[in-house]
Amino acid sequence: MAAAGRVPRGRLSRASRLGRLATGQAVRGVGTRLSMIGQPEQARRILAEKSALQAAQQVVTVLGGMKGAAMKLGQMLSVLDVDLVPESHRELFRDKLAELRDRAPQVSFAEMRAVLEGDLGPLARVFADFDETPIAAASIGQMYRARLHDGREVAVKVKYPGVDEAVHADMRNLEFFSRLWRSVLPSAADAAVLDEVARNIGGELDYVREAHTQHRVAGRYRGHPFITVPDSIEEYCTHHVLVTEFVAGQSFSQIRALPDADRDHIGELIYRFYISSLFADHEFCGDPHPGNILLAADGRVAFVDFGLYHRMDPAHVEFERYAMRAAAGHRAGDLYDQWVARGIIDPDAGVTPEECLNYVWAAAGWHLLDAEITITPELATGAVVLAVDPRAAEFRGMRHQLLPPEHVFSRRADLFTYAALGQLEATGNWHLLAREWLYDEPPRSDTGRTIARWSAAAG
């Protein structure tokens, strides 16, 4: 067992932890179901609650202690009503898992300082002030607040000691690791998909690349009327340390308490940043979750964390746009032919064109339905689970679909944007926003028109 605050690095030690976790979940689930037989309804509720909290605590303890790619799984699960616990207690489960996002186990500052100074030299050389209490714990590092000698307030993300080795161990264990997160991405059993996941999650370790990306994206949104991206301070960014402008503002949990109109406005901006950017710019942030969204003090929505930022081949973007247009127009035959030609559907598998059409509408219909929709956690989770694990009888044939690896993270971004909006319970006619990238139509919302005027003026 690794000491408290240490990241287990070895492949075998990390695999054994995952094995104990998966086994514990299975045994607990069976035991709870058996113990509920013949019990009064009140006892059933108590047992369900105890099971949910015990299961969540085990996930928090094991995945939080491992950090790296395993902790990323916990962050993904924390925004979903996954079918791991009784429905009446999924909120408890999700709240407990949110600890992986907001209150992950901390590594002592003495250990983190060694990482910092190993890359930057003595702290006093770079920082006029450095708060030793972390403000956040992410999947591969902790975040601190500091002040540079020129007076700028900055956020400093520092890798956990040994996390590079830990993530690479997770990647080597990915075939086994996928058993644990198959409820989120069953197609992870596919070798090409596993390679894509490994390549991109491993890319989060490259803080220098992330700093370059964030600097470029910050420039794109500089002066934007509604969105801000904190710039990186590239001269102080190294393999283990990422320094960016600090954003003072409200967390996502505070945003959730805002009035409906404010949440709806923020929901539109979340949609535009995570979804529309793929089709407008052929690039997107592949890690949409509540921990990466803030409401800045100036009223703009701030987006942070660019470790999973992707450029996408325009041909692949057009493939996705065509599929969505076909589904929007109820052209089942065109959608089916496109998927067969791309190798997504085996023509001998018995999957029908109507099944493909209905599947897209079930998983992505929020982009296609011309009506106001309030996205709830339950609605979002239903789409996510259906998209990645279509167990319903009418979609059973879709279990045999093959998601091309180049679309893994764009589909993940779409689904987890939906999940984040579900946490926000935002209302909007999402189809009207989608028409801008589906059909190149002008924006119809006031927010969209303001952004279009700013964009035109910015050149």
Most distant CA atoms of the chain, gap in Å = 69
Q: Regarding beta strands 227-228 and 301-303, do their DSSP bridges make them parallel or antiparallel, or are they unpaired?
A: parallel
pLDDT the model gives residue 343: 87
37: pLDDT confidence band, cut at 50, 70 and 90? very low
Please say whether the beta carbons of 125 and 119 come within 8 A. no
> CB within 8 A of 267, min separation 6: which ones?
375, 421, 424, 426, 427, 428
Q: Check residues 37 and 407 and name the one with the higher pLDDT.
A: 407
Least confident of 20-24, 48-52, 356-360: 20-24
pLDDT the model gives residue 360: 84
Least confident of 81-95, 228-242, 430-444: 81-95
Euclidean distance between CA atoms 236 and 157, whole angstroms: 11
Least confident of 38-47, 135-144, 162-171, 216-225: 38-47
Q: Is the pLDDT of residue 234 over 90?
A: yes
pLDDT the model gives residue 401: 67
Which residue from 110, 204, 79, 210 is spatially nearest to 155, judged by alpha carbons? 210
pLDDT the model gives residue 84: 45
Which residue from 345, 328, 349 is spatially nearest to 337, judged by alpha carbons? 345
Q: Is the pLDDT of residue 378 over 50?
A: yes
Token pair for 411: 């589909």
Q: Mean pLDDT, to the nearest integer, of 255-279? A: 97
26: pLDDT confidence band, cut at 50, 70 and 90? very low
pLDDT the model gives residue 191: 53
pLDDT the model gives residue 163: 81
Q: Is the pLDDT of residue 130 over 90?
A: yes
- The pTM of the full predicted model, rounded to 2 decimals, is 0.76
What is the DSSP secondary-structure string of 282-294? SEEES---GGGEE
**Strand-pair partners of 147:** 129, 153
Look-up: residue for tokens 């904190």?
230
Q: What is the mean pLDDT of the chain?
A: 78
Euclidean distance between CA atoms 248 and 294, whole angstroms: 8
Token pair for 222: 């500089």
Q: Check residues 387 and 331 and name the one with the higher pLDDT.
A: 331
For the question of residue 287 being annotated catalytic, the response is yes
Which residue from 194, 193, 205, 137 is spatially nearest to 168, judged by alpha carbons? 205
Token pair for 326: 């076909």
> CB within 8 A of 293, min separation 6: which ones?
252, 255, 270, 301, 302, 303, 420
Q: Check residues 69 and 278 and name the one with the higher pLDDT.
A: 278
Percent of the chain with pLDDT over 70: 64
pLDDT the model gives residue 220: 94
Which residue from 162, 163, 156, 122 is spatially nearest to 142, judged by alpha carbons? 156
Q: Check residues 382 and 128 and name the one with the higher pLDDT.
A: 128
Please say whether the beta carbons of 67 and 7 come within 8 A. yes
178: pLDDT confidence band, cut at 50, 70 and 90? low
Q: Mean pLDDT, to the nearest integer, of 12-16? A: 47
310: pLDDT confidence band, cut at 50, 70 and 90? confident
pLDDT the model gives residue 152: 97
pLDDT the model gives residue 192: 54
**Alpha-helix residue ranges (DSSP H) falling in 260-395:** 260-271, 277-281, 314-328, 332-342, 353-364, 377-388
Least confident of 197-201, 255-259, 443-447: 197-201
pLDDT the model gives residue 406: 78
> CB within 8 A of 118, min separation 6: which ones?
240
In angstroms, the Cα distances linking 259 to 252, 376, 424 are: 13, 16, 11
Q: Is the pLDDT of residue 47 over 50?
A: no
Euclidean distance between CA atoms 440 and 280, whole angstroms: 9
Identified catalytic residue from 81, 164, 264, 287:
287
